[in-house]
Structure 1
């Protein structure tokens, strides 16, 4: 059995989070799992001595604080934090309302910040720990019609994770930004993904992209969540884990394309770029 490190995993009632929690329990870790409903956690995962399911509104800083304190009261510490909770909001920038866009940020960005704000004091004081922020390859490549808002939330996660990594390093706390590709989970199912309340017919490419994701990619994603979960555990056991981690062959391929594009654009416009110097 593994040393009983304590994991704190958000968004754990389905998808990669659920698979991760199940595997952690099999491997003997202690797990605090959160979701909007405690019942959904027990239904998905069951009951275990080392398992603490908690209902938590990730968009409420107070609720997150209470959940973290409950975890500390139960297990005495938190060793590894996985910011996994999030959802995909589909819709072009024009057709999504202010409310729809802000809600995606509340969950995907500010929810993760709430968890970070509430857990880092314990990690810092114990001079150890590991934070996994689950972004998306869409946090590196944003050129998906109808996914601009979602991708921008993941770009935000990438940005603050890079800062977090250097902020926490002096305290012996590792930080890993995970860019998953497409994993075969419920992420694109009707109960998880949200579409625009007022779609506009003019956006043909957006509707095609939406249909492709919901009807063709959903259920046919190339990556296995079980292997993804095992990989996260493997990364947590490394002495020097990566700050940036691409997860999946598709993620690797899209990252390489983005790198080449940036290099080509930088060189193409180099003369103008350098012309601003005194």
Structure 2
């Protein structure tokens, strides 16, 4: 039996992972900004479920949740950094205020929650940190530059963190899901740019219409995703990078091929820059 600490557990991936972990017999600390939403979705607390209020942008909220979790269950074996949202829109149409809010949640929130949990895992000399990134953290795309930047940030951080924490027996995995049938594109979740620029009008309108048309029609199954994450946490040698869904696999392969082709095309320039002699 493991003890899981999941952020953003009131809906989407977070809720499905909480359900799957409970079904597998694990203990779960399920957190979200509005605790009642978790309680309603999971039908109340019980001996293996502890629902907590947690706003990842508020350090005091993080500290209180982690403290209460350890008091209740004594340890944290798996941390799932899942809380986040998509700030979409062309770069120039996203204000600095929107940019800061995106990074406060998707990046600094992840950092702060992990920083609060790591002392517990180091004392245990065991643990697994699973951070939900996105295919946007593997390959950039027009109309989502700020979201891509936030997910690339936790991707690079996860790679380095995996090396730092191996000394303590703590594993790190960054997961890159493609498009899944969650409410990610609902207007209660996704955000669009708050600056209107005429040059981007046609592009932005077409992109919003396309995303709205695809909402809840995505290929990925959130329940299958959750089950895969539960299995991942039991793996003795989990990967640092994990693609999510067939779209995630395609993006991984396309990125790998593009990097290889780029490296070969520009090999002469790259290798000419070393000090000679």
TM-score calculated relative to the size of structure 2: 0.95
Distance 1:241 1:264 in 2: 28
Contact 1:56 1:63 in 2 (8 A): yes
Q: Report the counterpart of residue 71 of structure 2 in structure 1.
A: 73
Distance 1:242 1:29 in 2: 22
Task: Identify which of 271, 274, 277 aligns with 1:277.
Answer: 274
Q: Report the counterpart of residue 255 of structure 1 in structure 2.
A: 252
Alignment of 1:134-213 (within 5 A): 134-142=132-140, 144-203=141-200, 204-213=202-211
Deviation at 1:66, TM superposition (A): 1.0
Deviation at 1:208, TM superposition (A): 2.3
Alignment of 1:122-133 (within 5 A): 122-133=120-131
Unpaired runs of 5+ residues, structure 1, are: none
Task: Identify which of 112, 115, 125 aligns with 1:114.
Answer: 112
Distance 2:208 2:268 in 1: 39
The count of aligned residue pairs is: 273
Secondary structure of the equivalent of 2:218?
coil
Contact 1:145 1:209 in 2 (8 A): no
Secondary structure of the equivalent of 1:202?
helix
Q: Report the counterpart of residue 88 of structure 2 in structure 1.
A: 90
Contact 1:136 1:154 in 2 (8 A): yes
Deviation at 1:167, TM superposition (A): 1.0
TM-score calculated relative to the size of structure 1: 0.95
Q: Which deviations, in whole Å up to 9, do the C-alpha atoms of 1:100-142 show, x marking residues without a partner?
A: 0010000000000011100000001111111101100110000
Distance 1:239 1:264 in 2: 33
Distance 1:199 1:52 in 2: 43
Deviation at 1:274, TM superposition (A): 2.1
Distance 2:205 2:99 in 1: 18
Secondary structure of the equivalent of 2:172?
strand
Alignment of 1:25-104 (within 5 A): 25-47=22-44, 48-104=46-102
Distance 2:169 2:8 in 1: 26
Secondary structure of the equivalent of 2:92?
coil
Unpaired runs of 5+ residues, structure 2, are: none
Q: Report the counterpart of residue 236 of structure 1 in structure 2.
A: 233
Contact 2:143 2:207 in 1 (8 A): yes
Task: Identify which of 5, 21, 31 aligns with 1:8.
Answer: 5
